[in-house]
Structure 1
Amino acid sequence: MRILLKLELDCTPDAAWRALHSSRAIAELYGPLIEMVPLEAQPATSLESGADVPVQLRALGALDIGRQLIHVEDRYTEDSHGPVRILRDSGIPLTGPLSQLDVWDHQMAVSAVPGHPDKTLWRDRLVIGGIAAGPLWPLLWATWQYRAMRLRALAPTWSYEPEPTPDAASTEAANTAATTEPAAPRDGDGGPGSADR
């Protein structure tokens, strides 16, 4: 069974792609109805291709509804309008009602809206299978409609790119250079005109 979304978002494809790899941005898509809590002691802030990320899902912040393993794979392709970037979550629900599913294949594709490079065409496809797919489909469909609403609301906030901050080493080097400027030459120490005096 499949659930599909196709949306135009008010952000650049680069901003949407960054958000797709941000643990925080992905969690915000489901909030505040569903909370996605990382289970790792030091969770990654960015989802890299090949990563396995276990999360706990909670409804309304209190009711545990299961654990999920997110497995991230990135793929790059092209269509008739240009480049398409795809993030595939081929992980699986581990506990809770969704663990009754045998198949969980979630793909999200981002590309530029044709003729509008500053906007994103977002395509979202969830394929589920197993004996529980039929009973769970309406709940997941409703969740994906909520997700679409959140995508539209949050996408404009993804385009903000903070000014780059220098790392500690370059800051220290700049400070050292500023405090060790050569002193002005004194008479007789080789400065201009000192040999004639």
Structure 2
Amino acid sequence: MLKLVLDCDVDVAWRALRSPAVLRELYSPVMGLEALDADGFPTIWEPGAHRVRVKAAGAIPVGDQIIDLEFIERRDGTRILHDQGDPVSGPLSKLAGWDHQMAVARDKHDPTKTLYRDRLVITGAIAPLYWYPLWATWQWRGARIKALAPSWAYDPPLPGDEEDDEVGATVEGAI
């Protein structure tokens, strides 16, 4: 589990969590992600299943994964991206379960910042062998998120503009 305060607005962080471009930038250059869906990566993740191929160093296939997303918004303003997908090939497919939740909320000490929580639960007889490598990956991932967050940008639609997530959206520095 990670618990970080990000130097960006909560709406910006929520947009970034739902962006395949940000996900790809987050893991680059250590890992690459290739969309296996016919239409490639969407601009913004939609609820449902998305197939991806994970590549070491962005080039060597190491397994396929299904990212199965649902979005939850709580009354207290917390927004959660819940991935119930599973690795379907490669080393991680030996796990029995994969439950990943990322939550963002306005930081109560500084409303211009975001409280970010990230939890991964893995299960199965082989899970203890994966615990330390995944913990180390999550620490690295947290450092990358914290470093990238100030560069994320999102300009919400102005009154009268068509309400569409793609209008005015930018992810600076993303692939």
Could you state the TM-score of these two structures normalised by the residue count of structure 2?
0.85
Report if aligned partners of 2:15, 2:154 keep a CA contact under 8 Å in 1.
no
Alignment counterpart, residue 70 of structure 1, candidates 48, 67, 72: 67
* SS of 1:8 mapped into structure 2: strand
How far apart are the structure 2 equivalents of 1:146 and 1:134? Answer: 19
Unaligned runs of 5+ in 2: 163-175
How far apart are the structure 1 equivalents of 2:126 and 2:64? Answer: 17
Give the paired residue count. 159
AA aligned to 2:103 is A
Alignment counterpart, residue 13 of structure 2, candidates 16, 37, 45: 16
Q: Which position in structure 1 is the counterpart of 2:122?
A: 128
* SS of 1:6 mapped into structure 2: strand
* SS of 1:118 mapped into structure 2: coil
Report if aligned partners of 2:68, 2:83 keep a CA contact under 8 Å in 1.
yes
Q: Which position in structure 2 is the counterpart of 1:27?
A: 24
1:112-154 Cα deviation digits (max 9, x unpaired): 1113111000000000001221111111111111110110111
Report if aligned partners of 1:36, 1:56 keep a CA contact under 8 Å in 2.
yes
Q: Which position in structure 1 is the counterpart of 2:84?
A: 90
AA aligned to 1:88 is H
* SS of 2:113 mapped into structure 1: strand
1:53-85 Cα deviation digits (max 9, x unpaired): 10000111222110000001011114xxx4100
AA aligned to 2:44 is S
Unaligned runs of 5+ in 1: 168-197
How far apart are the structure 2 equivalents of 1:61 and 1:35? Answer: 4
Q: Which position in structure 2 is the counterpart of 1:154?
A: 148
Report if aligned partners of 1:10, 1:155 keep a CA contact under 8 Å in 2.
yes
Indicate whether 1:107 and 2:101 are aligned: yes
Give the drift of 1:161.
Answer: 2.9
Runs of 4+ displaced beyond 2 Å: 159-164
Report if aligned partners of 1:12, 1:159 keep a CA contact under 8 Å in 2.
no
Q: Which position in structure 1 is the counterpart of 2:44?
A: 46
Give the drift of 1:106.
Answer: 0.1
Identical residues among aligned pairs (%):
47
* SS of 1:66 mapped into structure 2: strand
How far apart are the structure 2 equivalents of 1:159 and 1:131? Answer: 42
Report if aligned partners of 2:28, 2:58 keep a CA contact under 8 Å in 1.
no
Bigger CA radius of gyration: 1
Higher helix share: 1
1:79-101 Cα deviation digits (max 9, x unpaired): xxx41000100000000000001
